[in-house]
């Protein structure tokens, strides 16, 4: 325990600008990357997330990023303890993701279990995608990269590609990340639909819709169905917090960061997270547009991106599945190749692949809706909407987003293709008062 009563291992202490250089000087590969000596290194704490410390360290030869877990939720403080073990799960997830999706995650240079600290390559000149999107910057390579990332990490860790015993061992290895899962279970699947201390929203403008959500029986059944899936479905290793704040971009490069919420869960949770955060940005643009800086063209790009994410993911996932079978089996124990060797069964398998992806599409839309809702009615909000200063304007954008989210969650089956979602988003803007 440390002085405040939080559980930390012997040897753990949060680093700061003063203590970090001496620590890094003891890591030869890191020191070589920085160049010069520790007195030449500039250190800045830049963490703007909800949980951790993040430092950028720059030396004469190069830079590194250092992420260290705190034994509590940074956003709230020491009153909300959180295990340091999340750094262990993040490190494991980064290792697995690098294997299946090389070049799409930051390179890990050093991991210190005791300090719950990961030293990574400094992604430069990358910025957090959400920040770029708020400024209406387009990222032409994003769809290609994120669909590669999701298709490859989800396919290769699923029962379609991973032998059962190996997968069960991997499921077990990530099972201990339960405290991070619990945050999701409470903050996404429960609290926005009840009175809860953590909740906040644009008030009084959204008081009515927040109450309507709390009194909506169909919605509460729908979110609870999604929660059961999140609790019990070990479909693949998921990132677990794949919003646009977990993506760093340039015009050429895309990297997925921060998989501390990783565990074996439903694939649709990751796909839905990306779709949700794009849609949140889409609705938020009406709050950032000015006569000199209209955002309609950008909004059209965001919706094209939503379509590209699902369409690209679907094609790539199916291609990996088909390739696996053609090369004598992808390695997984699901859909055993000998069962589908004859012509009629091969045809049935192809139809089943499409049905599998249809089920995944419905899951993804449900999870997307859950994430759109939590960012407006729950604890942790998105700066896409938060940075709209005029509360009436912000509330108008949020109401459109919530209205679409409610329909996507309760009437999921009416959305049979991704264009149904983008058309509904467009219609929501068209019909709502500005």
- Closest to Mg ion by CB, 178 or 323: 178
Minimum gap (Å) between residue 375 Cβ and ligand SR1: 9
Each residue of 174-183: b (16+ CB within 10 Å) or e?
beebeebbeb
Pattern 197-236, ligand SR1, x by CB under 6 A = ----------------------------------------
- Closest to ligand SR1 by CB, 188 or 219: 188
CA distances from 12 to 48, 113, 328, 350 (A): 22, 9, 48, 52
Footprint of ligand SR1 on residues 239-268 (CB under 6 A)? 241
Closest-CA residue to 385 (of 281, 302, 305, 306): 281
Token digits of residue 138: 């387009």
* Residue reference for tokens 């993804």: 364
Minimum gap (Å) between residue 11 Cβ and ligand SR1: 26
Minimum gap (Å) between residue 302 Cβ and Mg ion: 22
- Closest to ligand SR1 by CB, 130 or 314: 130
Chain residue at closest Cβ approach to Mg ion:
258
Strand 236-238 with 254-256, pairing:
unpaired
CA distances from 278 to 34, 128, 202, 239, 273 (A): 36, 14, 20, 17, 9
End-to-end CA distance of the chain: give it in Å, rounded.
53
CB 376 within 8 A of CB 402: yes
Using the rule CB under 6 A, give the single segment among 43-51, 63-71, 89-97, 336-344 that binds ligand SR1.
Answer: 43-51
List the single partner that 159 binds among Mg ion, ligand SR1, none, CB under 5 to 8 Å by kind. none
List the single partner that 183 binds among ligand SR1, Mg ion, none, CB under 5 to 8 Å by kind. ligand SR1
Total residues belonging to the chain: 434
List the single partner that 362 binds among ligand SR1, Mg ion, none, CB under 5 to 8 Å by kind. none
- Closest to ligand SR1 by CB, 375 or 429: 375
Q: Name residue 65's beta-bridge partners.
A: 56, 120
How many CB atoms within 10 Å of residue 423? Answer: 13
Category of 345 on φ-ψ map: left (φ > 0), alpha (ψ -120 to 50) or beta: alpha
Contacting positions for Mg ion (CB under 5 A):
49, 258
Pattern 378-407, ligand SR1, x by CB under 6 A = --x---------------------------
Minimum gap (Å) between residue 183 Cβ and ligand SR1: 5
- Closest to ligand SR1 by CB, 49 or 265: 49
Using the rule CB under 6 A, give the single segment among 24-32, 180-188, 189-197, 408-416 that binds ligand SR1.
Answer: 180-188
Half-sphere exposure of 275 (CA within 13 A, CB side): 33
115 binds ligand SR1 per the rule CB under 6 A: no
Each residue of 30-68: b (16+ CB within 10 Å) or e?
bbebbeeebeebebeeeeebebbbbbbbbbeeebbbbbb
- Closest to ligand SR1 by CB, 51 or 161: 51
Footprint of ligand SR1 on residues 44-103 (CB under 6 A)? 49-51, 73, 75
Residue count, binding to ligand SR1 (CB under 6 A): 10
Minimum gap (Å) between residue 268 Cβ and ligand SR1: 16
Q: Name residue 57's beta-bridge partners.
A: 43, 64
- Closest to ligand SR1 by CB, 177 or 184: 184
Three-state SS at 14? coil
- Closest to ligand SR1 by CB, 148 or 260: 260
Minimum gap (Å) between residue 262 Cβ and ligand SR1: 12
Half-sphere exposure of 280 (CA within 13 A, CB side): 29
Using the rule CB under 6 A, give the single segment among 125-133, 144-152, 179-187, 343-351 that binds ligand SR1.
Answer: 179-187
Torsion of CA 163, 166, 172, 174, to 10 degrees: -90
Minimum gap (Å) between residue 258 Cβ and ligand SR1: 8
Q: Could you list the residues that contact ligand SR1 (CB under 6 A)?
A: 49-51, 73, 75, 183-184, 187, 241, 380
């Amino acid at each position: 325990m440390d002085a405040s009563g939080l559980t930390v291992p012997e040897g753990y202490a949060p680093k700061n600008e003063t203590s970090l250089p001496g620590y890094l000087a003891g890591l030869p590969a890191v020191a070589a990357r920085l160049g010069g000596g520790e007195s030449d290194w500039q250190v800045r704490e830049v963490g703007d997330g909800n949980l951790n410390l993040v430092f950028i360290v720059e030396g004469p030869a190069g830079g590194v990023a250092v992420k260290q877990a705190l034994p509590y939720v940074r956003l709230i403080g020491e009153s909300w303890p959180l295990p340091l073990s999340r750094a262990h799960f993040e490190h494991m997830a980064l290792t697995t993701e690098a294997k299946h999706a090389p070049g799409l995650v930051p390179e890990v240079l050093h991991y210190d279990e005791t300090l719950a600290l990961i030293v990574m390559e400094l992604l430069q000149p990358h910025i957090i995608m959400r920040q770029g999107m708020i400024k209406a910057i387009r990222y032409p390579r994003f769809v290609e990269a994120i669909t590669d990332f999701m298709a490859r990490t989800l396919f290769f860790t699923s029962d379609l590609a991973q032998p059962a015993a190996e997968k069960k061992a991997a499921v077990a290895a990530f099972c201990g990340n339960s405290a991070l899962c619990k945050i999701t279970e409470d903050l996404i699947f429960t609290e926005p639909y009840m009175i809860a201390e953590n909740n906040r929203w644009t008030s009084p403008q959204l008081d009515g819709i927040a109450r309507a959500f709390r009194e909506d029986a169909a919605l509460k059944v729908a979110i609870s169905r999604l929660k059961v899936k999140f609790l019990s479905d070990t479909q693949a290793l998921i990132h677990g917090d794949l919003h646009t704040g977990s993506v760093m971009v340039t015009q050429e490069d895309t990297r997925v960061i921060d998989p501390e919420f990783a565990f074996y869960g439903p694939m649709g949770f990751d796909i839905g997270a990306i779709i949700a955060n794009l849609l949140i940005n889409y609705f938020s643009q009406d709050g950032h547009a000015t006569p000199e800086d209209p955002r309609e063209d950008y909004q059209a790009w965001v919706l094209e991106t939503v379509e590209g994410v699902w369409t690209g993911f679907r094609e790539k996932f199916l291609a990996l599945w088909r390739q696996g079978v053609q090369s004598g089996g992808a390695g997984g124990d699901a859909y055993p190749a000998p069962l589908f060797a004859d012509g009629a069964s091969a045809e049935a398998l192809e139809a089943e692949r499409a049905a599998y992806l249809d089920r995944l599409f419905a899951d993804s839309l449900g999870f997307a809706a859950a994430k759109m809702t939590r960012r407006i009615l729950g604890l942790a909000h998105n700066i896409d909407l938060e940075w709209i200063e005029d509360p009436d304007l912000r509330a108008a954008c949020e109401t459109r987003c919530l209205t679409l989210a409610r329909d996507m969650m309760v009437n999921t089956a009416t959305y049979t293709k991704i264009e149904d979602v983008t058309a509904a988003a467009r219609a929501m803007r068209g019909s709502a008062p500005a």
